[in-house]
Amino acid sequence: MGEILSFRLTPGNTDDRKPLPELIKDLSGCLYADKGYLSASLKQQLKTMGINLITNIKKKMKPVEQTCFDKAILRHRSVIETVFDELKNLCQIAHTRHRSPANFVVNLLAGRVAYCLIPSKPKILVAGTYLQA
């Protein structure tokens, strides 16, 4: 089975949750997210699509049952943040003064290619196997 990559570029003032259902329409299973994705309506909407939204909870919320695997994956969110940092800084996609939309897209794609060529990427050890981010 091939890997699926979907992304959407949105303005900085767009809620991250808004484009999510369209991005994951062909997926099923679990979706791990940060506390910014906490929303009862989003969780219910994703559940009807066959996706279980798993997030950490805020301090004042009631505890939620999670498997040990889910807890472990949520603890490794820093790996994802490391990937974002590498894309922005090492692959230089955080450039703000593009002169044209085409230049912006070329810079974004070149940064993604540069990331793919980095020999040692962040990894998560799961059940004796490394998952590469």
Place of tokens 């939204």: 53
Confidence of residue 3 (pLDDT cuts 50, 70, 90): low
Q: Count the Cβ atoms, other than its own, within 10 Å of residue 88.
A: 13
Q: Which tokens hold the place of 4?
A: 């699926």
pLDDT digits (tens, 9 = 90+) for 41-71: 888 888 888 888 888 877 787 878 888 888 8
Q: Count the Cβ atoms, other than its own, within 10 Å of residue 24.
A: 18
The mean pLDDT of the chain is 79
Place of tokens 């196997």: 129
pLDDT digits (tens, 9 = 90+) for 5-36: 677 777 878 888 888 888 888 888 888 888 77
